[in-house]
Chains A and B, each alone.
Chain A
Amino acid sequence: MSVFSTILRQIVNGLQSGSIYALVALGYSMVYGIITLLNFAHGDIIMVGAYIAWLSMAKFSMHPAFAILAAILGCTLLGMLIEKAAYKPLRGSPRISLLITAIGVSFLLENLSQMVFGAKAQVIPTFFEIPSIYLGSIELSGTALITLLAAAVSMVLLTFLVQKTKMGKAMRAVAEDTDAAQLMGININHTISFTFAIGSALAGIGAILYCSAYPQATPTMGSMLGLKAFVAAVLGGIGSIPGAMIGGFAIGLAESLVSAIGLSVWRDGVVFAILIIVLLVKPTGILGRPMREKV
């Protein structure tokens, strides 16, 4: 085992978890950009996605392709439901109320699924057998490569959606100035709903990729994942799509680097330390725009 191949493996490990973080971070970033809400429940949507995948395959023995569709669809609907039920009535209230509600939703989802599915981890069957790829003497896991690929494709599509379509334009307008956008004839409710749908669909894809890498579903699996993805979003610059990608990969690589040098128990600590440093040094993140303070 050469040092080089160990390093290469660690980089692939980091990129794999990094691309999942990036996908989740995108969801955070979009929602934050449009209604400046830190959607704490975002990580838990992933958890629900994982349970949907488990239910459809292990309980209803559906074809993996349908299970994937069901998970993504379920996440999308759940995201929209949460927005309608919990966040919409609070539009215009202080940010602190929104944030507390988001925490409440997150806890509700976690505890409901603990009650329904139990605290025991459920094993998610393999979606598809993906052969490993050999790069010289080094074996690279197929799952890792698919994860990377899926993340990249989702991001390209998302960029296209936001930059080139009419809905994307509306989203950007609402994020810029909600009132002005409304005056220009943009339906705020539809746009916000759509943003939640897209963000949650990304969470659904994230759930599938997560489950193919770590095939277990537990009620609390989303909370740490969500927090780390949020760190990634902040690091890259919240509200920015390429920023979320950069942040996700950076967090993934940092984590596997910390573990690689034998400090794995400090991994969570390091992630939060990165967050603190970023917030203190450059609160807008790597690609974020400076925020104006309104009087």
Chain B
Amino acid sequence: MKKLLSIALVAMMALSALAGCAAPVATDTSASDASAADAAQPAASGETIKVGILGPHTGDYAVYGLAVKNGAQLYIDQVNAAGGINGKQIETIVYDNKGDSTEAITAFTRMVDEGITALIGDVLSGNTIAVVGEANPINMPMITASATAVGATYNADTDTVYTNVFRSCFIDPFQGEKMAQYAAEKLGAKTAAVLTMTGDDYSVGLADAFKAKCAEVGINVVADEGYSKGDVDFKAQLTNILATAPDVIFCPNYYQDDGMIVTQARELGLTSTFLGGDGWAGVSAYASAADLEGSYFCSAYAPGSTDAVKKFEADYTAAYGADTLNMFAATAYDAAQILVAALTKAEASGAATGSDEYKQAVIDAIKTEGPSVVGITSETGYTFDEHNNPIKSAVIMTLTDGVETFKEMY
């Protein structure tokens, strides 16, 4: 009887699990629409060009992974609708790595087995570096739209550039430096505090660059505090910061934490200006308008700033909704633009699709064609420096009345 009852209850739990699956949850659609996209395209023409899209579509970082997937897919669908490249349709192979490096490697290897000629991804820096370890030996062209760690394209220990890897976002140190400069020049800051998530590559990367630049531009870093992933109580650290009363507080973390930090700081009576990196995008939902007022953060993408951006936003929302419409959707759209331009050039070279010469042609073409691509996040095109990082200016965003608004290019 006991067992019968528990069978019933476990079955209930299982059913509720299934009910959960059926519920229209935005992040749950990856698998189904990925396969739908896969199935739909090859039928259009005999030969296809296969492009991999890899990232976390489930789990903690799904917001970024889905943005990249949708952004890239959006442009590729537009190209396919217009007839594809050289009469061939682009077929995307989409896999979820759940933000895990082990899964990223197996998923990437599977894509290679299935015959991809280029990859858009990976999304998180750590995963991307793991994938580069596999992709570099086989010279697979790769454009990441969101891996901001320096190590994704350049190995500082051996001073070698991974020639097959490019990115359409900017790198961690760039943002940290920009914000330090901005604080000194535009905000006239003399003292600064830093509060970083120490378990995180991105956060630490930005903070280190910020501190280094502060020393250069004459800002005194009076407090340097850290916290661990998953922490929700920042009052102890903020109380320490409060004691030093800095002009600005640099919080290069993700928006959920930043929202909580700002709220708790104001609760303690801290009035300093908050600065952040691109991880702040979306922060407005996580703290009150009054608390956030006058904070600045660095971004790659200014929503609604130009007609091209507005068109992209409308198309994206129509296809995927506005839930994941963030900066990485825009950089992924640009990454897809660069890749398609390069693929077009490589197709013209006459090399067999997917061969070694073809891949090399794509890599060469990314460099030569990049500057003429008019991107959503870089109207001046994509010129790559010696480490394959794009040269583009930062967007400074500010919070006014609880809305993230474009302040200026810097």
Q: What residues make up the interface of A, taking CB atoms closer than 8 Å to B?
A: 1, 3, 6, 9-10, 13-14, 16-17, 81, 84-86, 88-89, 108, 112, 114-121, 123, 132, 139, 141, 143, 213-216, 218, 220-221, 224, 255-256, 258-260, 262, 264-265, 267-268
Contact = CB atoms under 8 A, between A and B. Distances in A.
Contacts of A218: 256
Contact of A115 (B9, B25, B227, B243): B25
Contacts of A17: 233
Contact of A214 (B13, B199, B233): B233
A259 B13 contact: no
A218 B232 CA distance: 11
Specify which of A13, A123, A141 lies most central, judged by the most chain B CB atoms within 10 Å of its CB.
A13
Contact of B268 (A9, A89, A220, A265): A9
Interface of A is mostly: helix
Contacts of A268: 228
Contact of B239 (A13, A116, A118, A224): A13
A13 B235 contact: yes
30 contacts: A1-B243, A3-B243, A6-B243, A9-B239, A9-B268, A13-B235, A13-B236, A84-B5, A85-B13, A86-B9, A86-B10, A89-B3, A112-B17, A115-B21, A115-B25, A115-B28, A118-B26, A118-B62, A119-B61, A119-B62, A139-B269, A143-B267, A215-B260, A216-B259, A224-B230, A259-B236, A259-B237, A264-B225, A264-B227, A264-B228
A48 to B, nearest CB: 12
A50 to B, nearest CB: 11
A260 B16 contact: no
Interface of B: 2-3, 5-6, 9-10, 12-13, 16-17, 20-21, 23, 25-28, 58-63, 198-199, 225-228, 230-233, 235-237, 239-240, 242-243, 245, 256, 259-260, 263, 267-269, 285-286
B245 A264 contact: no
Contact of B16 (A86, A112, A123): A112
Contacts of A116: 20, 23, 25
Given A84-B5, A85-B10, A112-B17, A262 B60 contact: no
Contacts of B59: 114, 119
Given A115-B28, A259-B240, 11 more contacts: A10-B239, A13-B239, A84-B6, A116-B23, A118-B26, A119-B58, A139-B269, A214-B260, A262-B225, A262-B240, A265-B227
Nearest to A116: B20
Given A85-B6, A86-B6, A259-B237, A216 B63 contact: no
Given A118-B25, A119-B59, A221 B267 contact: no
Contact of B240 (A6, A86, A89): A6
Given A115-B17, A265-B226, A221 B237 contact: no
Contacts of B232: 214, 216, 221
A207 to B, nearest CB: 13
Given A89-B6, A115-B17, A216-B286, A264 B235 contact: no
Contacts of B245: 1
B394 to A, nearest CB: 26
Nearest to B62: A119
A255 B233 CA distance: 10
Contact of A85 (B9, B20, B61, B199): B9
A260 B237 CA distance: 6
Contacts of A118: 25-27, 62
A71 B17 CA distance: 21
Contacts of A215: 260, 263
A149 to B, nearest CB: 18
A81 B13 CA distance: 10
B260 A264 contact: no
Contact of A119 (B60, B236, B243): B60
Contacts of A115: 17, 20-21, 25, 28
Contacts of A114: 59
Contacts of B5: 84-85, 89
A20 to B, nearest CB: 10
A108 B13 contact: yes
Nearest to B197: A265
B9 A84 contact: yes
A9 B199 CA distance: 26
Those 9 A-B pairs whose CB atoms lie nearest each other, nearest first: A259-B236, A85-B9, A214-B232, A13-B235, A121-B256, A116-B20, A89-B6, A256-B236, A265-B198
Contacts of B23: 116
Contact of B233 (A9, A13, A132): A13
Contacts of B3: 89
Nearest to B286: A123
A253 to B, nearest CB: 10
A76 B403 CA distance: 39
